[in-house]
Amino acid sequence: MAPVLDVRDLAVGFPSQIVVHGVSFHIDPGETLALVGESGCGKSVTAFALMRLLPTTARILRGEVWFDGTNLVSASPPVMRGLRGRRIALIQQEPLTSLNPVLTVGAQIAEVIRRHEKLPHAAARRRVGELLDMVGIPEPQRRAEEFPHNFSGGMRQRVMIAMAVACHPLLIIADEPTTALDVTIQAQVLDLLDGLRRQFGMAVLLITHDLGVVAQWADRAAVMYAGRIVEQAPVRPFFRQPRHPYARGLLGASVNEPEGQSGSADSWHYTTRRLNEISGSVASAAGEPGCPFAPRCPEMIPACRAAPPRLEPVGDGLVACFRAAETEVPHVAAVG
């Protein structure tokens, strides 16, 4: 089965620096790929580059993005406009700024529908009501007449999801969709998105920094660091045995126990365990050749500083690390 999205060697730069250094990944129909990383890693830039929504100062330097038979990098603006909202949809983090505050929610959803499908007003309004109902907003017809500020954060995000799925897109890009929401609402919203994905057979590119979200809602994970994908694997093998030192560091730094150790809440407490730090910051390797993680890497060897490692298959996935073949390091000792 051909992938819905096939990104090949995509590079994006701003005038002062290159932010995405040739990333490649693909998403199969109906699957959720999580793009994981911390701030500054380039995951959001990648997402916006896919939809050709970069700020004017940014440029796609090279690469191809194959979507549904079209190369999005070279597609003309009219073609892109036809795709956005209809075949590819975007859900962003802060629905307060994604929704137009002076238009009713129903009007905004209807706008998306009528832009891509020539439906008369009445039919569009009906569709809007169905969509709002589908995303779990009670009294959909009445609430369609309300403005974004009448909705809570979780409700607004549901409205965004309704807008996104209105035309049954092939791919949804969700950029940190629940970061600004409470954890109980987060679970509801992500479950909703997941359910709709299954129902309509859509693929999802889920951008997040939260490893728990990745574990629970993604099929595959791609970890980004300093503009490069450093590890890519199906979710189960990834969490069972992350191969890249950065990915291992992230999991070690998490306050949640990754392994299925039941009971003993004491084992994950500051009195018995010290969090695995990754010292330094992302800027450590700016301007230097070699692996961008090298200055912070506990397993660095001289070869790491010479040239950046390429993504190579290791186990079930791909890893960009010269030392990836070796098994994982022992845990850091508990604090005294």
Partner 1 sequence: MSLLSVDGLRTRYVTRGRVLNAVDGVSLDVDQGETVGLVGESGCGKSTLGKTILRLLNPVEGSIRIRGNEISDLGQYALLPFRRRMQMVFQDPYGSLNPRQTVETLLTTPLKVHGMGRRAERRRRVRDIVSRVGLPAEALDRYPHEFSGGQRQRIGIARALVLEPDLIVCDEPVSALDLSIQAQILNLLVDLKRDLGLSYLFISHDLSVVRYFADRVLVMYLGRIVESAGHAALWREPRHPYTRALLAAVPRPDPDRPRGPVALRGELSSAEAGGCRFRARCRDAFDRCTSEEPALRTVAPGHLAACHLA
Partner 2 sequence: MSELAQERASSRLRGPVARDAIPAAPRPGDTLSTGPGDMLSTGRGDMLSTGPGDMLSTGIVPARPGNALTPDARLRGGAVRHRLLRAGLHNASFLVGLLILIAVVGIALTAGWVFPGDPQDMVGTPTLWPGQDPQFLLGTDSLGRDVASGLAHGARVSLLVGVSAAAIGLVIGTLIGAVAGYFGGWVDTALVRLTELFQTVPTFLLVIVIVAIGQPSAAVIVLAIGVAAWPTVARLVRAQYRSLREAEFIAAARSLGYSAPRIIFREILPNAMAPIIVTASVMVANAILTEAGLSFLNMGDPNLISWGSMIGDGRPLLRTAWFLCALPGGAIALTVLALNLVGDGLNDVLNPRSGLV
Residues in touch with partner 2 (CB under 8 A): 6, 8-9, 11, 13-14, 16-19, 21-22, 24, 26, 38-45, 48, 53-55, 58, 61-62, 92-94, 97, 176, 179, 209, 226-227, 279-284, 286-289, 295-296, 307-308, 310-313, 318
**Which of 78, 101, 266, 302 lies at the binding interface for partner 1 (CB under 8 A)?**
266
Rounded to a whole number of angstroms, the minimum distance from the CB of residue 236 to partner 1 is: 5
Rounded to a whole number of angstroms, the minimum distance from the CB of residue 310 to partner 2 is: 6
Retrieve residue 199's tokens: 């129902």
Over the window 34 to 73, marking each residue x when it contacts partner 1 by CB under 8 A and - when it does not, the resulting string is ----xx----------------------------------
Rounded to a whole number of angstroms, the minimum distance from the CB of residue 315 to partner 1 is: 16
Rounded to a whole number of angstroms, the minimum distance from the CB of residue 310 to partner 1 is: 24
Q: Which does 183 bind (CB under 5 to 8 A by kind): partner 2, partner 1, none?
A: partner 1
Q: Which does 239 bind (CB under 5 to 8 A by kind): partner 1, partner 2, none?
A: partner 1
Nearer to partner 2, 41 or 113 (CB): 41
Over the window 269 to 288, marking each residue x when it contacts partner 1 by CB under 8 A and - when it does not, the resulting string is xx---xxxxxx-x-x-----
- The DSSP bridge partners found for residue 10 are 23
Rounded to a whole number of angstroms, the minimum distance from the CB of residue 167 to partner 1 is: 27
Does the footprint of partner 1 cover residue 154 (CB under 8 A)? yes
| Residues 177-196 contacting partner 1, CB under 8 A | 182-188, 190-191
Does the footprint of partner 1 cover residue 139 (CB under 8 A)? no
Angle, alpha carbons 206-209-211 (nearest 5°): 90
**Residues lying near partner 1 in the complex (CB under 8 A):** 38-39, 152-155, 182-188, 190-191, 209-217, 235-236, 239, 249-260, 263, 265-266, 268-270, 274-279, 281, 283, 335
